[in-house]
Structure 1
Amino acid sequence: MTQSSILIWGAGAIGGVLGAYFARAGHKVHMVDIVPEHVEAMRTSGLKIEGPVEEFTQILPASLPEELQGTFDIVFLAVKAHHTETALGMLKKHLAPNGYVVSAQNGLNEKVIAAAIGAENTVGCFVNFGADWLEPGLVLYGNRAAVAVGELDGQRTPRVESVHALLSLVEPGAVLTDNIWGYLWGKMGYGSLLFCTALTPDSMSDAMARPEHRVVYETLGHEVMALAKAEGVSPIGFNGFDPAAFLASDPEGMTRAMDTMVAHNRKTAKTHSGIWRDLAVRKRKTEVDAQIGTMIPLAQSHGLQVPALTKMVDLIHEIEDGKRAQSAKLVDEMVPLCS
């Protein structure tokens, strides 16, 4: 059998880990990124993966988007959600006949990809391991966590089995699922909590552990799970997040879930979310509009009210625009909406 050629489009935190592991296992991998120094480092001194999970350095063929030539059988799209359409516009010509795109991103980007290149050329993917791009040629792999892959229509196909085998190189417990939308909506719920932690300078675990803010996290989780139910999706829990407890606003269930998520995040070398890093370190726009923002009009279409999600998006925008500083006081402002 001829080995598939793999393109990683976006060689940051997630894409960097995936590409390094695939290449180390002997697969034909090519990396694309928009940071010239990062591209140069990967193809010369190599991409260093560091952290408690494993440490190694992998030299990788790499290009800037405008340098890339040829076509590839599998494209792992690992850019920020709000860059999805732009990336698709550039990578489509590099997709081989019968090739397909795997969305290793946060959010419901599979919908955007399917609209651009067809659902038949799109594979769903859920990634929750912790990683951070630290500098050119260096990525922190902070912790193992849930990974899943599946066809959008739930079928089990040879190609999704191939992608599952690849992802199992990174996470041995990777799941091949017939409900990828359940995982993605579960991540939307969990992601809403991470956005809330990024309103503060606290670590993910410290922010979630604040008793005075628990009602905010519980309300955010409930709003997203209620929307998933309206969409006809059965969300799947992972790493402590319990969709059923948040949907039902079950006090005991949500307490157990929050405590488990706090404990999970205390064990990772990645103490803060990528959202926090965008705001506090890289001083750039987050994925809030492409993730949380997409749920607000969707909720309106179902006649649902999502005041906590709406307020949180507004607060993230104010930090992005330099109008507010990250502070626990921002979460304080959300408490009256959630009590």
Structure 2
Amino acid sequence: MSQPILIWGAGAIGGTLGAAFIRAGEDVIFVDNVKDHVDAINEKGLKIVGPIFEDTVQARAYLPEELEGAYQRTFLCVKAHHTEAAARSLVQHLPADGYVVSAQNGLNERVIARIVGEHRVIGCFVNFESDYLEPGVVQYGGHGAVVIGELDGRFTERAEDIYQLMRQVEPKAMITSNIWGFLWGKLIYGALLFGTALTNDSIADVLENPIARPVLRRLALEVATVAAINNIRPEAFDGFDPSAFGPLASPQQTETSFDDMVAQNRRSARSHSGIWRDLAVRKRKTEVEAQVMPVVEIGRESRVPTPLASRLIEMIHEIEDGKRPLDMANLEELANAAA
């Protein structure tokens, strides 16, 4: 039997991946910093609910300080703003030939590489629907794109191994020479979601709103322009084409993309984004600092101004701190940031 797979972060993404790997016959060990979640997995197993499959899988789970041993294959699945702390903890469990697969949102591969070494990081893009419901319970809500790729674009045996493993989660998983393109494509989409989360309206309602569309288009254009100036070609995924928000996009392309996203979100069981739930329901920090700030920083290094992205970060923090309500007026205020 192959060595155990270490899943660092047993929440929505990590729990879904780990359960699928276990169902495929792999030995999986979970690490999570929520004691109640760790205890529930050890006592009752990890329960997966939702339309894809429902099962309770058995696995060992540990708090970070309890883990011992070394693991060649580690999937890092924590929230983006916890990446650095998690990477510094897991590096001591990473052997010389080990590697980390970053199954997260954002450009976290850059952070992990600074800690464990770039040669020990494999890029990963995931877009399936999942959610942490309660200790020991994760919802796998729907299929979505899954893409694996080496950071330097090479096709390697280890990337092929991870690709075959990810097909146990998503049969249509892909391996690519342009993993950065997928990550930046999702950053463009993510900027739109952060924009919708400034309001209490559903994703579809905001994207359909003719007042919201111009500012959301300019916000996404900032991200796309930073990518373009750095010779990154954003990739399309799950019906979203980031080129519709790029520097060369026509107004009609953008409007069509908005219409397509509205139709897709009208069909979704989830009316609001996870970002909105963090702000409105869970009352906790979002991933805005870890996801959007790198765009601002890379833009600054590349001499690409990002006034909307910068102001978006400030406004999300104000909402997190209880200093700003969720309201459509926030998008109107954001529009003034570029004036």
The alignment's TM-score, normalised by the length of structure 1, stands at: 0.95
Contact conserved, 2:107 with 2:294, CA < 8 A, in 1?
no
What displacement does 1:4 show?
3.3
Equivalent residue letter for 1:105: Q
Match of 2:151 in 1: 152
Match of 1:175 in 2: 174
Asked if 1:12 corresponds to 2:11, the answer is yes
What displacement does 1:102 show?
0.3
Equivalent residue letter for 1:253: Q
* Count of residue pairs the alignment pairs up: 338
What is the SS of the residue equivalent to 1:48?
A: strand
Q: Provide the C-alpha distance between the structure 2 equivalents of 1:73 and 1:264, rounded to a whole number of angstroms.
A: 39
Equivalent residue letter for 2:139: L
Q: Which runs of 5+ in 1 are unaligned?
A: none
What is the SS of the residue equivalent to 1:98?
A: coil
Q: Provide the C-alpha distance between the structure 2 equivalents of 1:267 and 1:165, rounded to a whole number of angstroms.
A: 30
Residues 187 and 81 of structure 1, relative CA distance in 2, 3 Å threshold: same
Equivalent residue letter for 1:266: R
Equivalent residue letter for 1:225: A
Residues 140 and 171 of structure 1, relative CA distance in 2, 3 Å threshold: same
What is the SS of the residue equivalent to 2:289?
A: coil
What displacement does 1:338 show?
6.3
Name which of structure 1's ranges 328-337 and 9-18 shifts more when overlaid on structure 2.
328-337
Match of 2:305 in 1: 305
What displacement does 1:22 show?
0.5
Q: Provide the C-alpha distance between the structure 2 equivalents of 1:272 and 1:48, rounded to a whole number of angstroms.
A: 24
Residues 287 and 177 of structure 1, relative CA distance in 2, 3 Å threshold: same
Match of 1:58 in 2: 57
Matches of residues 112-123 of structure 1 in structure 2 within 5 Å? 112-123=111-122
Equivalent residue letter for 2:9: G
The alignment's TM-score, normalised by the length of structure 2, stands at: 0.95
Match of 2:266 in 1: 266
Equivalent residue letter for 1:122: V
What displacement does 1:76 show?
0.3
Q: Provide the C-alpha distance between the structure 2 equivalents of 1:204 and 1:167, rounded to a whole number of angstroms.
A: 29
Asked if 1:109 corresponds to 2:108, the answer is yes
> How large is the RMSD of aligned CA atoms in angstroms?
1.5
What displacement does 1:232 show?
1.2
Match of 1:322 in 2: 322
What displacement does 1:284 show?
1.4
Q: Give a deviation string over 1:250-290, Cα, whole Å, max 9, x none.
A: 21111121222222233333332221122122211111111
Q: Provide the C-alpha distance between the structure 2 equivalents of 1:137 and 1:56, rounded to a whole number of angstroms.
A: 12
Match of 2:251 in 1: 251
Q: Provide the C-alpha distance between the structure 2 equivalents of 1:194 and 1:140, rounded to a whole number of angstroms.
A: 21
What is the SS of the residue equivalent to 1:199?
A: coil
